[in-house]
Structure 1
């Protein structure tokens, strides 16, 4: 049964109420890519997703993934941003063995992550060789 969203107000701000949950229009807009990634995962388009989101939605994101019984791990980037990995348990188990900071991955981890995220295999091979040959430096870039 389709339950249409209802315009509501939350803290005197326009909000949308959908299936009993009230979300601000800003939150819905901010998380639209996240929700689209869930759709792609459920349809089998992707086995692993990496998305960068605003830290203020960390609990909302974790709650949604738990509700949908989707394995995930969340890494803080800074006080305002988080990296959210979610998808197949097997993929998440691999991600949990990696350094949480993307700029501190080894060449092999960088390669594996790219392949698991569905990046072009040949381009990942080229990138791996450039890293191994010192043409690309992983790690923090100088300011």
Structure 2
């Protein structure tokens, strides 16, 4: 666990920056992949800030932490109901768009994934 509130690992500083950006309206939803050992800290912070979230296993040592607007998290519960690498090209595109990724880059990614799946 974290020994001092003044000394935070870089992973948690990035997480706290994402929370700050969400609270300021820069982002409507965030996907943050982090080591499982920080899950309790991250989820406690989100609960204390009244931010909706969803935790999804990413690997043996990490989690995907989605957080943001309630309507976005509700949609993610339907969309990302399995590991992200198993999403269809269409689901992957929707997720990227929801996260605010560059739409042209998402279009290129979609076309590559769609071509590979044919």
Structure 1 portions without partners, runs of 5+: 1-9, 17-22, 138-143
TM-score where L is the length of structure 2:
0.88
How far has the Cα of 1:128 moved from its partner?
A: 1.2
Q: Find the residue that maps to 1:32 and give its secondary structure.
A: helix
In 2, the alpha carbon distance for the partners of 1:128 and 1:29 equals 32
Q: Between Structure 1 and Structure 2, how many residues are aligned?
A: 116
Higher-Rg member (1/2): 1
Write 1 or 2 for the structure with the bigger share of strand: 1
Q: Greater relative contact order (Cα 8 A, min sep 6): structure 1 or 2?
A: 2
Structure 2 portions without partners, runs of 5+: none
TM-score where L is the length of structure 1:
0.73
> CA-atom RMSD, angstroms?
2.0
In 2, the alpha carbon distance for the partners of 1:30 and 1:119 equals 21
Deviations 1:15-67 (A, max 9, x none): 43xxxxxx472x44330000000000001000110111110111111111011
